[in-house]
Structure 1
Amino acid sequence: MKIRDLRFTPVSVPYREPEHWAWGVREGVTALLIEVDADDGLTGLGESVPFVDLGYAVETLKVFKSLLVGEDPSNIEKIYHKLGALGYQHVVDLVFAGVETALWDLVAKELDKPLYRILGGAVREDIEFAPWLWIRRPEEMVKEAERFAEEGFNTFYIKVALNPKDDIERVKVLREGLGDDIRIRVDANRGWTPGEAVRMINKLEKYDLEFVEEPTAAYGLKMVKQSVRTPIASGDSASTPHEILQLVMERSIDIFSHIDPDLQGGLLNSKKACAICEMAGLPVVAHTGVDLGLGVAAILHLVASTPNFLYPNQTLYMRLEDDVIKEPFVFERGAIKVPESPGLGVELDPRKVERYHNVFRERGAFPAYGIRPPAKIERILPPRLWL
């Protein structure tokens, strides 16, 4: 089997309502749907989220196509290093992730097996998730969490580092409203200085947080971890296996919470990152905040085949207006079953792809990091940095 062609389609899928967080406001997800055609008639599917400029991503894919045609799609390690020689490693990783997923999809389809079977086999069959609660009035957040709890979710994420008083009030009301059996995590998106992080985490400790994610920038994580009793999760500042190894060796975190093929450069590198954490005794959490169905499918197969995913994983999937696959995933008791059909186990819906490609053409790409900065950051950084 040889690669015959590579095709891609940009789509923009809105959220049901905007998300407010420490870095601005997000209105939806823009992704590049990847299709890799083989000479035996099979097509592999993948999805890249262009955190980088969309134009860079598109031009990078054009270069990828010229280098991939004629290659054996099963030579994933060889292909990754061949494309990595282009330089700009993080850009290459972000764009390559969707291509690599499509290669895995092709290989698994040729073997007529679900992808997790060739990634190591099943450790688990149901993948648990933790939804984000949108920032709103505390009592409204409690009601939303109660609705999720009725559907079987028992762990929730909320964004903090917006306003200290409001952050504490939201966590307090959530804990009092939901009781002790529900797990609460907070994510500061590096919005605190190390000193602010220590002060805020100590104030929040009495509300029994499962962990605090990204309390500060990488340079301050070790100090924060040594100064608080609440577990510290991070990973946003470490993407490649080499960076993750350094973070783990520094013993700066308790949990690595950013296992994400988009950030690591594909499923193979994500497996390597998980192995590094496993050797250090660290659990991992999948970072799936801005994925459509193809990206979610890749995460399901990754988590199913990797032992140290010990916590429910991030998701915003239920926040999407719709999806581009024929049968969108359904949560059962807070979990999604791993597909059993060959490859990723999902198919694109041509009508939905066309619909959300038209949304992209009309509205453009939704910025991955939000459309405006929070006030306290805007006061520090020149406005041109937010263009």
Structure 2
Amino acid sequence: MEKTIITQIDVIKLNLPYKEPFVISLGVIESATNVVIKIHTNSGLTGIGECAPFVTIVGETQETVFSYAKQLAKMLKGKDPFALEERLYEIDRAVAGNPTMKSAFDMALYDLLAKKANMPLYQLLGGLNNREVYTDMTISIGPPEKVARDAVAFQKAGFPAIKVKLGTNTQDDVARIKAIREAVGNDYPIRIDANQGWDTITAINTLKALEKYNIEHCEQPVAHWNDVEMAKVRANSPIPIMADESVFDHHDAFRLASMGACDFFNIKFSKSGGIFKALKINAIAESAGIKCQVGCMSESRYALTALMHFVLASQNVVHFDMDSSLMLDADPVTGGIQYQGSGKWTLENDLPGIGADFDPDFLKSMESVTI
């Protein structure tokens, strides 16, 4: 039997406008500027991956991903795609950092391996398609009256929880949450995300001021590098703390767990470099008694489908922030997870691999290169 090798790789820009600009403490996002990787083999199998670079968090852009991906594609040609660990370590060594770009290759290689095994990816990872997965919905930074209107709309739409972007100053951030709580009532779950926007004193003061509003958890209150201060915030906060930008990979997870710096980890493929390291982060979290959330950047429904497979094989993941594709003004994805309303995602097919693809006509309209 002929050995399977990688014969060519397509690198494709994927531009998807947002329905409305999305504002966080790190900047404004008006469109998803993603990259799709397609790995072709001589056996006829194709693996697909997608990544969503966000420059103020990962230091990557669509242009850097597009450029470096061509280098990785040249390196991978002619090699065995099913030697997954060897390929991923090779990718890791070839380029420092750049976890978002690496996550697209990781996703495509896992898609290929699961297709080779003739299994849906969750099954290859040891999971079952038996979990009910409901995403929260995110509200970007805005005036109190605007965020309160958004909160009511999402509550009426059936989302089980909302996540509110904060990270400006105590007075304005508290005003936002006060307006939302008054609008949605006392029992509707609210989560908050400061995206590194506070210093230590502001974080502690704001979290104490927000205690009475029944907040589930706060993501990344201080700068990503400031683990010592995040541990201090956690020790003084009445609200549980979730590490997001502080936890890129398993090394970060081990350090944060050792320091007692947080109550939760937020796992995103665009930070972890993909599924391989996301599994390691979750394993460290579980060992340390830390629960996880899965999150997203600006991914389409394709990458969210890959994330769903990870969730179905990771019982320690208990919060789901999988709303990015719901904010986009286009959906070029075929197959994959389906949105049922009220925040619910379902994976209804058991196709091998990730079980989704992109509309080829849509991709033809995008800039691409084949290596």
Same fold (TM over 0.5): yes
Q: How many angstroms apart in 2 are the aligned matches of 1:144 and 1:56? A: 34
CA distance in 2, matches of 1:144, 1:55: 33
Q: Given the alignment, which residue of 5, 8, 15 partners 2:18?
A: 15
| Aligned: 1:59 with 2:102 | no
CA distance in structure 2 between the aligned counterparts of 1:281 and 1:261, rounded to whole angstroms: 21
Q: 1:181 and 1:123 mapped to 2: Cα distance?
A: 30
Counterparts of 1:117 and 1:332, CA distance in 2: 26
Aligned with 2:106 (options 100, 105, 109)? 100
AA paired with 2:203?
Answer: A
Q: Equivalent residue for 1:265?
A: 273
Mapped partners of 1:352, 1:10: distance in 2: 11
Structure 2 unpaired stretches of 5+? 55-59
**8 Å Cα contact 1:235-1:244 kept in structure 2:** no
Amino acid at match of 1:194: T
Task: Please report the RMSD computed on the Cα atoms of aligned residues, expressed in angstroms.
Answer: 1.9
Q: Note the C-alpha offset of 1:87.
A: 4.2
Q: Is the 8 A contact 1:21 1:162 kept in 2?
A: no
Structure 1 pair 124–275 and aligned structure 2 pair: CA distance change class (3 A): farther
- 1:352 is the counterpart of 2:362: yes
Partner of 1:126: 132
Q: 1:179 aligns with which of 161, 164, 185?
A: 185
Find the counterpart in structure 2 of residue 215 from structure 1: 221
Letter in 2 for 1:43: T
- CA positional deviation for 1:354: 3.6
Pair 1:115-2:121 in alignment: yes
| In 2, Cα distance between equivalents of 1:141 and 1:318 | 17
Paired with 1:312 and 1:31, the residues of 2 have a C-alpha distance of: 21
Contact between 1:155 and 1:184, CA under 8 Å: does it hold in 2? yes
Q: 1:262 deviation in Å?
A: 1.7
Cα 1:271–1:66, aligned 2, differ >3 Å: closer, same or farther?
Answer: same
Letter matched to residue 264 of structure 1: S
Post-superposition offset of 1:314: 4.3
- Tell me if the contact between 1:289 and 1:315 (Cα under 8 Å) persists in the aligned partners: no
**Alignment partner of 1:47 out of 45, 50, 53:** 50
Distance in 1 (CA, whole Å) between partners of 2:149 and 2:46 is 44
Q: Where does residue 192 of structure 1 map in the other structure?
A: 198
The corresponding residue for 2:34 is 31
| Residue of structure 2 equivalent to 1:252 | 261
1:321 equivalent in alignment to 2:329: yes
- Change in CA separation of 1:196 and 1:133 when aligned onto 2, cut-off 3 Å: same
Amino acid across the alignment from 1:245: F
Match of 1:235 in 2: 244
Once residues 51 and 251 of structure 2 are traced to their aligned partners in structure 1, the CA distance between those partners, rounded to angstroms, is 22
| Alpha-carbon distance in 1 for matches of 2:161, 2:171 | 23
Residues 1:182 and 1:312: Cα distance change in structure 2 (over 3 Å): farther
Of residues 203, 206, 210, the one that matches 2:209 is 203
SS in structure 1 at match of 2:333: coil
> Mind listing any 5+ residue stretches in structure 1 that lack a counterpart?
361-387
**Identical-residue share of aligned pairs (%):** 28
Q: 1:287 aligns with which of 295, 309, 316?
A: 295
If the length of structure 1 is used for normalisation, what is the TM-score?
0.87
Q: Secondary structure at the match of 2:355?
A: coil
Q: What amino acid sits opposite 2:5 in the alignment?
A: K
Normalised by the size of structure 2, how large is the TM-score?
0.90
Shift of 1:310: 1.2
Q: Is the 8 A contact 1:264 1:270 kept in 2?
A: yes
Q: How far does the alpha carbon of each residue in 1:218-275 deviate from its partner, in whole angstroms, 9 at most, with x for none?
A: 3310110111221011131221211211111111000112x11221111011011100
Distance of 2:203 and 2:168 partners within structure 1? 13
